[in-house]
């Protein structure tokens, strides 16, 4: 007897959910927003193993406590309590899944990519990701431990 289409959908849904497991993260100063969930894909376990030459999908669901015309992302690799800027392809939050202007009390899904360049050293560090509003205040800030590997 063949499995029903509904059973297949349930199995596929469960597999997709397992791949996009919400991460445990540290909030590092979200003032003008509150983070609901952070996903890095693929990252089935923590610390996330980031393979050189690979790009990772970032999805942050947050609620805004303010109104803002725009937003800008800043990403850092934190080593020995020093923030080293980490370039991302698109720092403009309004081009990263957020419909601007940002409205108070609304929920948003911020989507971006984290490219891990081949020339990065193999090292353990903390990724710190900030999204600031048009007043340079933090809509969100989160940190996760990662390990860059070959």
pLDDT number for residue 20: 56
* Predicted local confidence at residue 21, as pLDDT: 64
Query: Considering the entire predicted model, what is its pTM?
Result: 0.83
pLDDT tens track for 84-122: 998 898 999 999 999 999 999 999 999 999 999 999 999
Rounded to whole angstroms, what are the CA distances from 51 to 57, 80, 117?
Answer: 13, 22, 9
Query: pLDDT (tens digit, 9 = 90+) per residue, 40-63?
Result: 999 999 999 999 999 999 999 999
**Residue 98, φ and ψ in degrees, nearest 5:** -95, 125
Query: Smallest Cα–Cα separation from 128: which of 38, 16, 21?
Result: 38
């Amino acid at each position: 007897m063949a499995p029903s289409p509904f059973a297949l959908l349930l199995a596929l849904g469960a597999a997709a959910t397992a791949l996009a497991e919400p991460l445990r993260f540290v909030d590092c100063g979200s003032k003008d927003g509150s983070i609901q969930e952070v996903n890095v894909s693929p990252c089935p376990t923590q610390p996330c193993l980031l393979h050189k030459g690979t790009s990772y999908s970032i999805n942050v669901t947050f609620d805004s406590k303010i109104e803002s015309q725009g937003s800008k992302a800043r990403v850092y690799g934190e080593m020995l309590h020093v923030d080293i800027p980490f370039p991302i392809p698109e720092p403009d939050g309004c081009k990263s899944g957020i419909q601007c202007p940002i409205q108070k009390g609304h929920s948003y899904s911020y989507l971006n990519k984290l490219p891990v360049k081949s020339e990065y050293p193999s090292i353990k560090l903390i990724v710190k990701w900030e999204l600031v509003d048009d007043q340079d205040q933090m809509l969100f800030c989160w940190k996760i431990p990662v390990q860059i590997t070959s």
